[in-house]
Structure 1
Amino acid sequence: MSFPWLKQPKQKWTITHLTGETKDKLDDSAAKNEFEGIEPTVIPSADAVVHLDYDPATLRSLGEMEYVKEDGGQWTRFVCISDTHSKTFDVPLGDVLLHSGDLSNLGTVRGLTATMEWLYGLPHKVKIIIAGNHDLTLHKDYYRDSWSRWHREPEDYKKIIELMTGERAKKAGIVYLEDTSCTFSVGPGRREWTVYGSPWSPYFHDWAFNYKSDKAEELVASYSNADILLTHGPPERVFDFTRTKEHVGCPSLASHLASGRLRPRIHSFGHIHESRGAHIHSWDAKDGASRPPRAQNRFYGVKDPKDRFLELEGEDVEKTRMELEQERVEAEERNSDVSLQRTVLVNAANDPMGPGAWVNGRKVKHGGRNFQPIVVDLKD
């Protein structure tokens, strides 16, 4: 299978596919400056297409996409975000919004209210969210024992959980998952999707929802297999490289994906802001043991004087870069095979960090260039 639609000339489309803090009135000049000259990055496959980098003004709706028209079947658009930290920004329209945690900075009523008010107003039919290590108060037992480390007075858990799961959240189509599952359909006669969400990530300075390495296997073994997997932290060696030159993803999570016990269509996460990216991985065997995926973004090892993401040195780095490039090339070759099972792996972090956070000498805004929401179109 080829992807001729990738070679079509760019077309100008009206700004009808955005929503967010400026959904009623978009500042055209600001939008132009933010995304001017951006080179679209599209990752295609037989049953999934990822829009990683794009000009929001020219991103076409799902029904306008050539691959949807040519296929003739039903497709669903998922919009992936994460690590929004109480900031708001424009979000492309879609059927489903997935938020992979760090809704706030420190889990305060004020911070979570800002995020939830924003999410209430987004028009996506279904919005599925999880917490992250910054959402301190949502880790109820942890916060009960350590609130004084973070806040002068304890935050009101009842108010916070009402924000997440109360009537306004339900009316807005929001489902909050905390080591739980849900199912949904975007309309009559459409397929039912299953989702599992977990807020945990590997131990980091004793924040909320942290687990130590000796507890990882037990935790990940409890995850249910589902079409969509939301975790806050990444699997090992998949968009998990930090400014301090460490791979901090979870080995157990990577193992359960490679073994086939977990085999989602989308695995969306965040946590490592500087490693935002997406990769489509075609598995060797359906629901069986396969090579684990490896993927990092284009800023892997890039030096930036305005950040602590230092240039890596030595032959091992060049070897890794070559291996990652080979993985990408092989993935492109395998992604057109309709017989293969595949997972879209997404680090959807929107909080700019690392060398990608600087464009033309200026710091990128939340959800801005290099940190946009990642759009994933899946064939039902």
Structure 2
Amino acid sequence: MRRIINAFTNISLFGREETKSGDVLLENAVNSPDETGIWLKFVVISDTHEEMAKIMNRIPDGDVLIHCGDFTNHGDEERVREFNDQLAQLPHRRKVVIAGNHENGFDAQFYEKAKLLTACELLNDTSIEIEGIKLYGSSWHTMNYRLFSTPPFYCEPGEETREKWAKIPDNVDILITHQPPKGFLDGRYGDVELLKAVEARNPKFHCFGHVHGGYGVASNGKTIFINAAQFEGYNGVNKH
């Protein structure tokens, strides 16, 4: 099995320090090449909200790019195609994407919308395996901020979210959701049922976005939590 390097986009958390936890290596050598063939390098971003052009030249090289949703503002087809074109320009061999609450129509018309994203693998309560690393992606969230309609992928907290998170495989290595779990980089907007699901499975990494102000990295000693939101409020791209 290949091991994992996770690269933190636009953030300097560990300097040049390295920390080992099992078969996981964390380092901030953003564009350092892997000369051993041991490591599989993941780069995680989220919540680019049609602003990908501003960070294209700052996205670290790597083997796999993960985007945790909200790549558009309203899910307009033109903007989805633009995002797809931008993904195609990036050098990562694999691109893994989930939709967010701003991707209108992606819940009701998932397979039609997925046809627009030819440059990536779009997950929706589904798993993929990349060189022995198991990834699972899910877009559900519990934040209903609309007066007369519900946003895409909204579900009621409690029993409904328990049913959604019950689909997460026990052996997942990298969990990708749009919403954070309760208590980790969530600005108090995380879902407690998601936290329970994570604690029951202990994936090596849990990647998400959604709460822009929660950008950063945390750990409970078993799972590394990454809030990769790039969009800082509605004033611009996160510069951390």
TM-score, normalized by length of structure 2?
0.82
Identify if the C-alpha distance between structure 1 residues 203 and 212 changes in structure 2 by more than 3 Å, giving closer, same or farther: farther
Q: Does 1:40 align with 2:12?
A: yes
Identify if the C-alpha distance between structure 1 residues 193 and 216 changes in structure 2 by more than 3 Å, giving closer, same or farther: same
Structure 2 residue aligned with 1:264, among 174, 182, 203?
Answer: 203
Cα deviation 1:40-81 (Å, max 9, x = unaligned):
321742132153xxxxxx8441438xxxxxxx7812211000
Cα deviation 1:302-351 (Å, max 9, x = unaligned):
xxxxxxxxxxxxxxxxxxxxxxxxxxxxxxxxxxxxxxxx3221000000
Query: 1: distance between equivalents of 2:180 and 2:30?
Result: 27
Q: Please tell me the residue identity of whatever aligns with 1:92.
A: P
Identify if the C-alpha distance between structure 1 residues 193 and 96 changes in structure 2 by more than 3 Å, giving closer, same or farther: same
Higher relative contact order (CA 8 A, sep 6+): 1
Structure 2 residue aligned with 1:96, among 64, 67, 82?
Answer: 64
**Are the equivalent residues in 1 in contact too, given 2:74–2:103 (CA < 8 A)?**
yes
Higher strand content, 1 or 2 = 2
Query: 2: distance between equivalents of 1:99 and 1:280?
Result: 20
**Are the equivalent residues in 1 in contact too, given 2:135–2:175 (CA < 8 A)?**
yes
Identify if the C-alpha distance between structure 1 residues 161 and 73 changes in structure 2 by more than 3 Å, giving closer, same or farther: closer
For 1:267-282, list aligned pairs within 5 A: 267-282=206-221
Query: 1: distance between equivalents of 2:184 and 2:40?
Result: 24
**Are the equivalent residues in 2 in contact too, given 1:108–1:137 (CA < 8 A)?**
no
Query: 2: distance between equivalents of 1:40 and 1:222?
Result: 34
Q: Does 1:129 align with 2:97?
A: yes
**Are the equivalent residues in 2 in contact too, given 1:50–1:278 (CA < 8 A)?**
no
Q: Which residue of 2 aligns with 1:49?
A: 26
For 1:7-156, list aligned pairs within 5 A: 40-42=12-14, 44-46=18-20, 47-51=24-28, 59-63=30-34, 74-88=38-52, 89=55, 90=57, 91-140=59-108
Identify if the C-alpha distance between structure 1 residues 267 and 63 changes in structure 2 by more than 3 Å, giving closer, same or farther: same
SS of the aligned residue for 1:116 comes to helix
Query: 1: distance between equivalents of 2:41 and 2:114?
Result: 28
Identify if the C-alpha distance between structure 1 residues 59 and 193 changes in structure 2 by more than 3 Å, giving closer, same or farther: closer
**Are the equivalent residues in 1 in contact too, given 2:101–2:151 (CA < 8 A)?**
yes
Query: 2: distance between equivalents of 1:105 and 1:345?
Result: 25
**Are the equivalent residues in 1 in contact too, given 2:114–2:122 (CA < 8 A)?**
no
CA drift of 1:115 comes to: 0.9
TM-score, normalized by length of structure 1?
0.53
CA drift of 1:203 comes to: 3.0
Identify if the C-alpha distance between structure 1 residues 279 and 50 changes in structure 2 by more than 3 Å, giving closer, same or farther: farther
Structure 1 residue aligned with 2:156, among 212, 215, 224?
Answer: 212
Query: 2: distance between equivalents of 1:181 and 1:175?
Result: 10
Q: Please tell me the residue identity of whatever aligns with 1:177.
A: L
Cα deviation 1:240-261 (Å, max 9, x = unaligned):
11xxxxx110101111222x3x
**Are the equivalent residues in 2 in contact too, given 1:234–1:269 (CA < 8 A)?**
yes
Q: Which residue of 1 aligns with 2:239?
A: 369
SS of the aligned residue for 1:118 comes to helix
**Are the equivalent residues in 1 in contact too, given 2:31–2:60 (CA < 8 A)?**
no
Identify if the C-alpha distance between structure 1 residues 73 and 123 changes in structure 2 by more than 3 Å, giving closer, same or farther: closer
Query: 1: distance between equivalents of 2:154 and 2:116?
Result: 23
Query: 1: distance between equivalents of 2:196 and 2:19?
Result: 24
Structure 1 residue aligned with 2:133, among 180, 193, 216?
Answer: 193
Q: Please tell me the residue identity of whatever aligns with 2:67.
A: H
Q: Does 1:230 align with 2:230?
A: no
Displacement over 6 Å in runs of 4+: none
**Are the equivalent residues in 1 in contact too, given 2:31–2:62 (CA < 8 A)?**
no
Cα deviation 1:82-109 (Å, max 9, x = unaligned):
0111221231101110110112100010
Identify if the C-alpha distance between structure 1 residues 40 and 203 changes in structure 2 by more than 3 Å, giving closer, same or farther: closer
CA drift of 1:238 comes to: 0.5
Unaligned runs of 5+ in 2: 1-9
Q: Please tell me the residue identity of whatever aligns with 1:162.
A: K
SS of the aligned residue for 1:235 comes to coil
CA drift of 1:280 comes to: 3.4
